[in-house]
């Protein structure tokens, strides 16, 4: 009897049919979640620059692929190569940080085009059928900075 009960518990808790797995993924983050995070920065020759202050483009697509391009030649018109395949939990985490970055930016006046800080973030976030695009800085939007730090970790920290 114990063996049968243990088998029933194992089967009911350890196996998820494909439909249930899809429902769990959909609950973790919206199926259309897309992120483009572009870092505009000037690198100073001969000086070590932290990864969060280097020119870069990170793209996260609904198929859970992280793409990254690094260096001074990075352009928004460039389609970066795949760097990592993300887990459902990683996508959910990125979605939470992106939501927080959008919420933080919503309470601030638009950033002036005349302002030229050392590092500027340009974000484009699509979620739930709606898109948000904005420019910000690490000091102005700490959630955007945390989102970038997580993207750097997921691409391997370089």
Count the neighbouring beta carbons within 10 Å of the beta carbon of residue 28: 17
Tell me whether strands 82-85 and 34-41 are parallel, antiparallel or unpaired: unpaired
Q: Quick check: 119 and 96 in contact, CB under 8 A?
A: no
Does residue 115 surpass a pLDDT of 70? Answer: no
Nearest CA among 23, 30, 27, 25 for reference residue 98: 30
pTM of the model: 0.80
- CA dist 135 and 113 (Å) reads 9
Does residue 11 surpass a pLDDT of 60? Answer: no
Does residue 108 surpass a pLDDT of 50? Answer: yes
Report pLDDT digits (tens) over 29-80.
Answer: 999 999 999 999 876 666 778 888 899 999 999 999 999 999 888 887 888 9
Whole-number pLDDT of residue 102: 95
């Amino acid at each position: 009897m114990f063996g049968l009960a243990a088998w029933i518990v194992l089967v009911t808790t350890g196996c998820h049919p494909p439909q249930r797995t899809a429902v769990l993924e959909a609950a973790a983050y919206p199926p259309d979640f897309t992120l483009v995070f572009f870092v505009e920065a000037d690198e100073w020759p001969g000086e070590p620059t932290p990864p969060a202050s280097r020119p870069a483009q990170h793209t996260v697509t609904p198929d859970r692929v992280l793409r990254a391009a690094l260096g001074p030649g990075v352009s928004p018109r460039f389609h970066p190569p795949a760097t990592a395949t993300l887990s459902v939990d990683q996508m959910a985490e990125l979605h939470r940080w992106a939501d927080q970055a959008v919420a933080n930016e919503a309470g601030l006046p638009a950033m002036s085009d005349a302002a030229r800080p050392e590092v500027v973030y340009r974000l484009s976030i699509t979620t739930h059928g709606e898109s948000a695009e904005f420019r910000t800085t690490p000091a102005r939007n700490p959630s955007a900075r945390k989102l970038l730090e997580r993207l750097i970790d997921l691409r391997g920290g370089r």
